[in-house]
Structure 1
Amino acid sequence: MKELESLKLRIQNIVESYESEEIGGWITGDGPVPCNILFIGEAPGKTEIEQGKPFVGMAGETFQSYLQSIGLSRDKIRITNTCFFRPIKKKLSKTGRVTISNRPPKSSETKLFKEVLDDEIALVNPKIIITLGNVPLKRLTNFDSIGECHGKLYFNEELKRNVFPMYHPSSLTYNRNDEFKTIYEEDWLKLKEALKTM
């Protein structure tokens, strides 16, 4: 599809001319176009860059299992990101070894891809957009944090689309308590119900 190739080239151009911070590679969205269901994450991590696909790392495995729990499979959804390159931070250990880890994208970095993401959304033409985490949430809604709006359906007037905010799958790794897991699982069940109305 010509339009997808054009998006890929635009992402590549943005990445290649970005010099403010060091970054660790880039990817594009994945999944059918057009598609009724679009998930938008934050930015790719190491495994995503290696495999060239969003949500294939540890958080991706969690994501996959919850997708299946509500009767969805990856080939029926589109997944993309708010920032298409991997934001990284480097640290020098006492032994002189350099470690590279992920960091959240800055708002200036997500702004670089604003038009690309808007164009991808238009191309995918989803009935519902599910934001995963605070980064896509702030980009596509007026909410400040996921805690105030997760698990509910909202309408984005600018995009004329339904938006369903959810916690990022990696939040299960950081919040290892039963209460949070219950909230997270309930959001997926609410999503299942929301999808029935589309």
Structure 2
Amino acid sequence: MAILEELDDEIRACTRCANRLGGHPVNPPGRLEEVVPRPVLSMPFSAAIMLIGQAPGLTEYDCGRPFQGPAGQDIRSLFAGCGVHPDEFDRVVYQTSAVKCFPGRKLNKDRWEDRPPDGKMLRMCSGFLQRQIDVVNPYILVCLGGVGANAIDVLRGRPSRKLGDVVGKVEEWGDRYIIFLAHTSGVSRFLNSEENKDRQNEGKRILTHKIGTLRDSRHLMRF
């Protein structure tokens, strides 16, 4: 995947968000330094499934690999229930996010939490996401949470939608399928609603079916 490796090198060299990250802390005890641009990227390979999240968290910032923190473990469990065993997750699912760099932390009342990427960061990373999709060439795009869903809507030239309007749905984009799921993070309260849980379960049912179709056609293992 020489083309993807070249793209990864270009993303790693990007510092366009440096002034938007500066001033925001890494935050855990003893980690008071400011966040610096440090793109988090999956291993380069052509995959039938691409997972698109919001942005890397602290664990990903430290280790340089996507979906390694608590939320990542939750999504791996979700995929396990849909037919992708945790042992094969990293070699079957290409993992990325709408923004490639950890945005840092912020104080929300009396607790620290991950800072969501701002609109300018999302716009500056949008081209990288489109190019990743073009090169990885997935059959299924799984959008995790509202930021990931909106990032794909922007690439499709569509207005942003509320999370409740998309979770549990599958849409076609050319010869690809987009499946929308709610973020599994405990910070989100979206899944506190029974109605939204039903939407999430429908999305998982669709993903299970699509993964089964890929296995039957051996398309899942084309990398």
TM-score range, shorter chain: 0.7 to 0.9
Please report the TM-score for the alignment, with normalisation by the length of structure 1.
0.82
- Measured after TM superposition, the shift of residue 16 of structure 1 is 6.2
- Map 1:12-161 to 2 at 5 A: 12-15=12-15, 18-22=18-22, 24-25=35-36, 26-31=38-43, 33-73=45-85, 74=89, 75-90=91-106, 101-141=113-153, 142=158, 143-156=160-173, 161=176
In 1, Cα distance between the equivalents of 2:17 and 2:74? Answer: 34
Does the 8 A contact of 1:151 with 1:164 survive in 2? yes
Structure 1 unaligned spans of 5+: none
Structure 2 unaligned spans of 5+: 25-34, 215-223
Does the 8 A contact of 1:129 with 1:164 survive in 2? yes
Deviates more, 1:186-195 or 1:39-48: 186-195
Q: What is the alpha-carbon root mean square deviation over aligned residues?
A: 2.8
In 2, Cα distance between the equivalents of 1:37 and 1:146? Answer: 21
Matched, 1:184 2:208: no
Question: Residues 193 and 32 from structure 1, CA distance in 2 versus in 1: closer, same or farther, beyond 3 angstroms?
Answer: farther
Structure with bigger strand share is 1
Deviates more, 1:147-156 or 1:166-175: 166-175
Please report the TM-score for the alignment, with normalisation by the length of structure 2.
0.74
Deviates more, 1:46-55 or 1:175-184: 175-184
CA deviations over 1:66-91 (Å, ceiling 9, x no partner)? 11111113121111111001112455
Which consecutive segments of 4 or more residues in structure 1 shift more than 6 A? Answer: none
Aligned length: 192
- Measured after TM superposition, the shift of residue 192 of structure 1 is 1.0
CA deviations over 1:105-164 (Å, ceiling 9, x no partner)? 11210111122111111111001111111112111123422210111111235xx53211
